[in-house]
Amino acid sequence: MSAETRFAPGTFTPAPGRGRLGRMLAVQTATETKLALRNGEQLLLTLIIPLALLVGLTELPIIDIGTPRVDWVAPRVLALAIMSTAFTSQAISLGFDRRYGVLKRLAATALPRWLLVAGRVLSACCIVVVQLVVLSAVAALLGWSPHLSGLGEAVPLLVLGALAFGALGVLLGGSVRAEITLAVANAVWFVLLLAGGIAVPESSLPAGLATVVDLLPSGALAGGLTDALARGTSPGAGPYLVLLAWTVVPGLIATRTTRLT
Amino acid sequence: MSLDATTSNRSAADPDQVLAVHGLVKRFGAVTAVDGLDLAQRRGTVLAVLGPNGAGKTTTIEICEGFQRPDAGDVRVLGHRPDARELRPRIGVMPQGGGAYPGVRAGEMLRLVASCARQPLDVDWLLGVLGLTDALRTPYKRLSGGQQQRLSLACAVVGRPELVFLDEPTAGLDPQARRLVWDLVRALRTDGVSVLLTTHLMDEAESLADDVVILDHGRVVATGTPAELTADATDEQRLGFRASPGLPLADLLTRLPGCTAEEPDPGRYVIRGPIGPREVSTVTAWCAERGVLAEELKVVRRSLEDVFLDLTGRELR
Ligand SMILES: Nc1ncnc2c1ncn2[C@@H]1O[C@H](COP(=O)(O)OP(=O)(O)OP(=O)(O)O)[C@@H](O)[C@H]1O
Ligand SMILES: [Mg+2]
């Protein structure tokens, strides 16, 4: 087959230009979301384990928390879900996307850098929405009755929590080798789950550790959500300030350390 | 190599030059990957960059694409610095391997890249013409090497760029796919797109490129059109043929002034000198007089591969 029959003249006549921002953002967000929902390991982390913990901790009296148990388990599982998506899953996928040259490929297009970040953030938000819907529905089946008055505090806490863990995820996944990211992201997830104020409430931790836990994004998010949804009280400014600090500082460092490859 | 202001100013001002590189240096620790390199490419031409493994081709291209920072030198791509944002939509990039999410389907990836362009090519048509229709729903990591290459090529051209960088576009492709890529590069050129490609296939460079640059150890060792590079300085050509062994070559040479002849293997003959139509017919006539048929008669030009090996050495490194 000759060039003439395969490619009509004029087919490739240059017509460079940037696509519409809204469409770029929509396509990138949709692609990343589909990839995350299709990836078995990521689903295990973002949905299956949180679901298992929600049901397990509610039904089995392993850890001493308030009653009804589900009211105290659900806010903690929501905090875990946020950490899994925004931090662990995000860091690992960013690490491997860098490794496989995806960021370079996208940076070589007309896609602005900020949009590259925005697409990932929006995609993480979509996953978080799916998590919140599924986990809340299952918690409701288990008899969850959160203090609806606490929703006004829970929503900004969830958003700030996602931003703080997201900044940490980008900081980790954007700077070191993919294998190191994989190991560290999973280890941190596990440590924060057990000793960072998520699965085990601060009250059950040794006194020294409890103070540290309040200053961790995991402790601040889980504690704040528990206050708002289980106790129906305001967590005060503390958790907000902690999460804000964990957003700003890692975020600023990440803008300097994040590399495309 | 020092950089003088006049050269860089001239290059920046010349609208006909899509690429102007002067005195480019890039070091990785003790390794000097690019060592004072100069390159120029005219609009609408195909420039092939050749060189042994590790010669600095990919490093040079990545600097032009804005992915690596040079240690010294001046690079202008379409008149801009390589990291200029306004350059992005105007160039297309095919990296040497990689460039897609492991789990992404071929169609999704190309659609994503196409969405970044104002007037992209038709995605379904492009996937079809590159033979990727059957692989539309296959995740990238399960595509064959050649399919991954073709998807990467599609991503490089889908946005209708003015200048395309193709780093080893035909590496690992079967002969059909290689022809397809050649057709595509020719079509790009016909439509006024400038193409810079690297390759290890000399016939590819010879048949596609308007200009060839041969790199070695990060320096340019030769540059010119394929014809210029393969034109023999001594004007010597070779005529090879097969016939029965032991022909009296001294007798033949009396009719071929200025030529030499040898029989390196029994029955295989090589005549060197200014070979033209007259010399060829002299040889066949001389054989016929002896009742011998001259077979596999061939005038051999110095190939680009000969030039390449002469310049860069025959040892592996
Ligand atoms: N990131 C890096 N760190 C260290 N050394 C590097 C790096 N990138 C390239 N090099 C070195 O620079 C030299 C040139 O590499 P480059 O990839 O440009 O070669 P190439 O001409 O593209 O080779 P090939 O034909 O194998 O693709 C090599 O010696 C390589 O090892
Ligand atoms: Mg290379």
Strand order in the sheet with B219-224: B91-94, B163-167, B194-198, B46-50, B211-216, B219-224
How far apart are the CA of B15 and the nearest CA of chain A, in angstroms? 16
Last residue within a domain, chosen from B201, B229, B257? B229
What pLDDT is recorded for position B6? Answer: 42
Residue with more model confidence, A98 or A209: A98
Closest protein CA for atom 31 of ligand 1 = B54
**Position B225 pLDDT exceeds 70:** yes
Give the position, in ligand 1's atom list, of the atom nearest the Cα of B168: 27
Same domain, B214 and B271: no
| ipTM at complex level | 0.86
CATH number at residue B158: 3.40.50.300
Same domain, B100 and B80: yes
What pLDDT is recorded for position B309? Answer: 79
Ligand 2 centroid from CA A189, angstroms: 38
Nearest Cβ partner for B101 among A19, A35, A110: A35
- Return mean pLDDT, chain A: 89
- Domain coverage including residue B60: 17-229
Do the beta carbons of residue A97 and residue A66 sit within 8 Å?
Answer: no
> In b/e form, how buried is each residue of A163-196, taking b as 16+ CB within 10 angstroms?
bbbbbbbbbbbbbbebeebbebbeebbeebbebb
Average pLDDT over residues A197-202: 80
What pLDDT is recorded for position B298? Answer: 85
Question: Could you tell me how many CB contacts below 8 A there are between chain A and chain B?
Answer: 141
Do the beta carbons of residue A75 and residue A69 sit within 8 Å?
Answer: no
Average pLDDT over residues A204-218: 85
Among B224, B201, B203, smallest CA distance to B214 is for B224
Q: Which residues surround ligand 2, an ion (CB under 5 A)?
A: B 57-58, 96
- Going by their DSSP bridges, the two strands B194-198 and B46-50 should be labelled as parallel
Nearest Cβ partner for B99 among A27, A28, A102: A102
What pLDDT is recorded for position B9? Answer: 45
Mind listing the pLDDT tens digit for each residue in B8-28? 444 445 778 999 999 999 999
Measured between alpha carbons, how far is A98 from A16 in angstroms, rounded to an integer?
Answer: 26
Measured between alpha carbons, how far is A203 from A248 in angstroms, rounded to an integer?
Answer: 28
Inter-chain residue contact A18 with B88, CB threshold 8 Å? yes
**Position A62 pLDDT exceeds 90:** no
- Going by their DSSP bridges, the two strands B194-198 and B163-167 should be labelled as parallel
Same domain, B82 and B41: yes
Measured between alpha carbons, how far is B149 from A147 in angstroms, rounded to an integer?
Answer: 56
Instruction: Identify any residues that bridge with B165 across adjacent strands, giving them in sequence order.
Output: B93, B196
Inter-chain residue contact B129 with A6, CB threshold 8 Å? yes
Closest protein CA for atom 22 of ligand 1 = B58
Residue B7 in domain: no
Measured between alpha carbons, how far is A95 from A173 in angstroms, rounded to an integer?
Answer: 4
Nearest Cβ partner for A105 among B155, B183, B184: B155
Ligand 1 centroid from CA B55, angstroms: 7
The DSSP call for residue B142 is G
Measured between alpha carbons, how far is B113 from B159 in angstroms, rounded to an integer?
Answer: 8
Residue B281 in domain: yes
Cα–Cα distances in angstroms (integers) from residue B296 to residues B241, B265, B267, B284, B299, in the given order: 5, 15, 11, 11, 10
Same domain, B162 and B184: yes
What pLDDT is recorded for position B11? Answer: 44
Residue B104 in domain: yes
Residue B312 in domain: no
Mind listing the pLDDT tens digit for each residue in A123-148? 999 999 999 999 999 999 998 888 88
Inter-chain residue contact A110 with B88, CB threshold 8 Å? yes
Q: Is B184 an interface residue toward A (CB < 8 Å)?
A: yes
Residue B134 in domain: yes
Residue B54 in domain: yes
> How many independent structural domains does chain B possess?
2
Residue B1 in domain: no
For chain B, what is the total number of helices (H) and then of strands (E)? 11, 13
CATH number at residue B242: 3.30.70.1560
Mind listing the pLDDT tens digit for each residue in A70-84? 888 899 999 999 999
CB-count burial class (<10 Å; 0-12, 13-18, 19+) for B284: middle
Same domain, B225 and B246: no
Same domain, B71 and B180: yes
Last residue within a domain, chosen from B199, B229, B259? B229
Residue B12 in domain: no
- Long-range contacts made by residues A47-54, C-beta under 8 angstroms, separation at least 24? A47/A81, A47/A130, A47/A131, A47/A134, A49/A80, A49/A84, A50/A77, A50/A80, A50/A81, A50/A84, A50/A131, A50/A135, A51/A134, A51/A135, A51/A138, A53/A77, A53/A80, A53/A199, A54/A135, A54/A138, A54/A139, A54/A142
Same domain, B107 and B82: yes
Place of tokens 């999410």: B101
- Report which bound ligand comes closest to the CA of B34: 1
Measured between alpha carbons, how far is A181 from A201 in angstroms, rounded to an integer?
Answer: 27
**Structure-token pair, residue B246:** 């032991």
Mind listing the pLDDT tens digit for each residue in B69-122? 999 999 999 999 998 888 999 999 999 988 899 899 999 999 999 999 999 999
Do the beta carbons of residue B165 and residue B108 sit within 8 Å?
Answer: no
Please provide the DSSP assignment of B39-84 as one string: EEEETT-EEEEE-STTSSHHHHHHHHTTSS--SEEEEEETTB-TT-
Q: Is B229 an interface residue toward A (CB < 8 Å)?
A: no
Residue with more model confidence, A12 or A204: A12
Do the beta carbons of residue A181 and residue A187 sit within 8 Å?
Answer: no
Amino acid present at B205: A
Least confident of B86-100, B142-156, B230-244: B230-244
Strand order in the sheet with B268-273: B260-265, B268-273, B237-242, B295-300
Counting ligand 1 atoms within 8 A of each CB, the residue from B57, B198, B219 with the most, and so the one to mutate, is B57
Ligand 1 centroid from CA B219, angstroms: 13
Q: Is B157 an interface residue toward A (CB < 8 Å)?
A: yes
Among A67, A162, A82, smallest CA distance to A121 is for A162
Nearest Cβ partner for B115 among A19, A104, A260: A19
Place of tokens 């040892």: B315
Same domain, B103 and B147: yes
Give the position, in ligand 1's atom list, of the atom nearest the Cα of B61: 18
Split at pLDDT 50, 70, 90, the class of A1 is very low
Mind listing the pLDDT tens digit for each residue in B31-40? 999 999 999 9
Q: Is B189 an interface residue toward A (CB < 8 Å)?
A: no
Neighbours of A2 (CB within 10 A): 9
Same domain, B241 and B225: no
Same domain, B212 and B267: no
Same domain, B44 and B143: yes
Same domain, B145 and B285: no
Q: Is B121 an interface residue toward A (CB < 8 Å)?
A: yes
Ligand 2 centroid from CA B181, angstroms: 18
Ligand 2 centroid from CA B48, angstroms: 13
The DSSP call for residue B98 is -
User: How many alpha carbons lie under 13 Å from residue B153 in its C-beta half-sphere?
Assistant: 30
Counting ligand 1 atoms within 8 A of each CB, the residue from B28, B34, B220 with the most, and so the one to mutate, is B28
What is residue B222's three-state secondary structure?
Answer: strand
H-helix or E-strand containing B263?
Answer: strand B260-265
Do the beta carbons of residue A81 and residue A69 sit within 8 Å?
Answer: no
pTM greater than the 0.90 cutoff:
no
